[in-house]
Structure 1
């Protein structure tokens, strides 16, 4: 009985920590969307528009505002805002669970601190379950973001209308189109994201202080740097994901076909479309994400 008690207590602590990670991740995601959505819309429109539609990121913003007003920059925000809580909640929960898994499979480790490769592995693993939520949300978001560009008529009235049309068009498979490209983006991206955050935050923590303490400057800098690291890797697969998810059914037979046709039509540089807006968004949005995560985690630690 006594030998089982510590294990049971440890299990309860682990479960509690994972619940906190889930809630804090969701809160951080809301912060990310509120700060970063206009940048994301600009990126997506640059990635999916035909040649000559826009001269650059500033032109996207100018034309969007001229046509739809400032609120046009927040078109398509409902899908990520509705989906961001489970997406980020699952991402931070899965990252926490992946770290615990690494500890479990390395019982005789010399250091309790995870190495950079181990942090990256935990980050990569966190993307696998998260993709199941991310892919359909991204599919709806992209379709809402690109409609109306180039003078085209708006086809969808909102999120529910997008999902209804997609299901009628091709069932569940249509709703989840682009899942492979989403994982290709988020696997390496999450590996860089979490590892960079942990390493940068530790580096910026003053001597004698703990990285777990709420140091706003370190959190903002580390979170922003993590976002830049992630998007430095993620742009090419993100371009492919956006094109697959926004194209009419049958346009591409898969990721490789999309890569081949994109390069043939627009050159290799097309794989980096949207790099500017993505980089402009990366720092503030992800600084807001980790600030939201860390601040809410601090509150949760005080509650239970």
Structure 2
């Protein structure tokens, strides 16, 4: 039906396009030019990925080198020894001090909206207003007492938690500790937070004053402490201690107990054992467990957080604690106890996830196992 190749060849000249069987036309290219990619964005993405992979490998190598040097200097750290608790204390200091300072702008907006719900219509408006009126420095109002206060609190909280977890485990025995491990986590974290808040409270009092006074009349952390002591005595630094305990102890109990439980559930769901996963995967699990635990923490502790802000900002000189609580509650009502909850969920979720990731990364850096993911009996050896 169709003409053969020989007929076509004999009909048309050798230079005719139809007579170029089996040959593909070659496109001429000017000498010295390079071939262009049909989709340049793909090559850019691939190049970026390769650079990111190279950077990650180099960062991992530097981390391992520094870790080996640190471990060589400190020597092998055995669990549940003074050296172990010291390492956990430093890890907690870094985890809490750095993360709380990083989210100071969110904390500033939260505190101002808790004290005066009519001040800003939204969190975005709050940020823009503060940035326009007070500059970038104004957005970080209160970073000083935040850094010092939460560094001290984190040191006592994480170091104390590890200490009390072992202490209570020894009291009840390994078998009972494994059976009642959630109760053990709750008790150990509550004990640690009780002490940690005594270190935090003076700095928290100064922070709230700095953040809720517009414009701030306190310019530095220790000047603020001196001003409070000169006007109200040392007791002025601790007038928010009871509501701080009311906020932080439930928060920390939820933070540690839920984190340990969630991490254990994650490893039980994943194939293999915790030890089968590399350092990066374990810190990823720590962040995920910490973020989920942080959401629960924010909900549990938020009413007390609102009351702490109100008491530090509005409590009258000489006013009894119970009377101040009653007066403030009449002013804001039950709904007022939940002002600022959405922004606090974002803040605390991110904060808690990063804290556990930093804390476990430091433990890995010092040659220690990460937190959670194994039976209590094995952890207490």
CA distances 1:104-158 after superposition (whole Å, capped 9, x unpaired): 211262564762222122111111110111111111111111121xxxx432122
The runs of at least 4 aligned residues of structure 1 exceeding 4 Å deviation read: 10-13, 110-114
Query: Highest Rg: 1 or 2?
Result: 2
1:208 CA drift (Å)? 2.5
The correspondence for 1:280, drawn from 346, 359, 365, is: 346
Q: Secondary structure at the match of 1:55?
A: coil
1:42 CA drift (Å)? 1.2
Q: Tell me, in whole angstroms, the C-alpha distance in 2 between the residues paired with 1:263 and 1:241.
A: 12
In structure 2, the partner of 1:6 is none
Going from structure 1 to structure 2, the CA distance change for 1:15 and 1:207 (only over 3 Å counts) comes to farther
Alignment RMSD, CA only?
2.3
In structure 2, the partner of 1:207 is 271
The correspondence for 1:38, drawn from 80, 95, 105, is: 105
CA distances 1:17-51 after superposition (whole Å, capped 9, x unpaired): 211110110111133124322211111111112x5
| Worse overlay, 68-77 or 242-251 | 242-251
**TM-score (normalised: structure 1):** 0.87
Structure 2 unaligned residues grouped into runs of 5+? 1-76, 369-381
Q: Tell me, in whole angstroms, the C-alpha distance in 2 between the residues paired with 1:207 and 1:106.
A: 32
Q: Higher relative contact order by CA 8 Å / sep ≥ 6: 1 or 2?
A: 1
The correspondence for 1:90, drawn from 156, 159, 176, is: 156
Is it true that 1:217 corresponds to 2:287 in the alignment?
no
Going from structure 1 to structure 2, the CA distance change for 1:253 and 1:198 (only over 3 Å counts) comes to same
1:188 CA drift (Å)? 1.1
Q: Secondary structure at the match of 1:100?
A: helix
In structure 1, the partner of 2:225 is 163
**TM-score (normalised: structure 2):** 0.70
Is it true that 1:24 corresponds to 2:96 in the alignment?
no
For these two proteins, the number of residue pairs brought into alignment is: 287
CA distances 1:281-304 after superposition (whole Å, capped 9, x unpaired): 0121111111110111111227xx
Going from structure 1 to structure 2, the CA distance change for 1:213 and 1:226 (only over 3 Å counts) comes to farther
Q: Secondary structure at the match of 2:366?
A: helix
